[in-house]
Structures are given as C-alpha cells and as structure tokens.
Amino acid sequence: MVAALWALAGWRTETGHLPWWWLPIPLVAAWFAVALTVVDLKHRRLPNALTFAAYPATALTTVFAATQSGWQVVTGALLGGAALGTTYLAIHLLYPTAMGGGDVKLSGSQGAVLGAVGWPAVLVGTTLAALLTLALNALAPKRHRTRWRTGIPHGPALLSATYLIATFPAIQG
C-alpha cells in the first residue's frame, strides 16, 4: 500500500501537479498513514512510537520544502499543528469518549501537514476526516463495530484526509 501511495505522489510530481520540493511531504504522510491505519484498525490504538515519530519526520520535510519555496510553509505547519492539536485536545478533554489520546497525539503532526498546504486545508482536512469516520461507521460490518469496543477509529480517516490533501493540494493558502 505504501508503494502505491508513493507511486501516486511520484506520478503527481512527474506530471507537474506537485513541485519536486513538495514530494517528501506526501511520501512521509503515506508511510505514516499506512503504518498507523493498520495498527489502529487491528488493535484500536495509535502507538506513541509512531505518533511521536511523525513530528520530526513532518518537521524535516516541511523545512526542506521551505528552503525551496519560502518559510511560510513552516509558519503554516506550526500554526496548523497547534490549531488542530489544540482542537483535538479540547474535544478529548470535554468528551473523552469522542476520541482517544492517540488521535490527539496524532493531530498535531497531521495539522502541520495540512497547515503547510494552507489554512483552508486544515478546515477541509478536518471536515473530510470527520466525514470519512462517519462513512467507516456506516459501511463497517456490525461485527467490526462491536469489536472496536469504543466506536469507530478516527485515526485512519485523519491520516487518509491528510495524505489526500498533501498529494492533491489544490487548496493553497
């Protein structure tokens, strides 16, 4: 799956839809999306070893992009990560059953990727993630929904939305 997502991002770069300096961002997003989605769907958790590793990986790729395109990419990433991380933390504190701690830890790095694209991407990505979570809830067989003890996992939807927006960044801020 990682290879297919990398191939898609590479094709987007080769056809001129993504600048070459942006390519590392969707590549890193794809790797974490696949690894964390597999773990979250199977074990209902987003392990710290992966969620925390996403932060330096996202920072390195964002700084690389900024050296080629301007530091507004880093500013957007910092603000997007802070905004999404704070929002998810507030939701988790107010309604602990709405999302798990792993989702909160993941949200900062994903918000950084979305923020690097632009402010509209943070809003669109968050909305898309919510819609994907609702779709998973509607489409998942009942046996999977009951096996996921506390509801449908949100991590895969947030990861998918982030990858899609990083690979198809039509929403430039």
Listed by start position, the domains of the chain span 2-167
The DSSP string of 134-158 is HHHHHHS-HHHHHHSTTS--SHHHH
> Is the pTM of the predicted complex or chain greater than 0.95?
no
Tens of pLDDT, residues 86-125: 999 999 999 988 888 999 999 999 999 999 999 999 999 9
Tens of pLDDT, residues 43-86: 889 999 999 999 999 999 999 999 999 999 999 999 999 999 99
Residue 148 has pLDDT above 80, yes or no: no
Q: Which long-range contacts (CB under 8 A, 24 or more apart) does 7-15 make?
A: 8/167, 9/166, 9/167, 12/167, 12/168
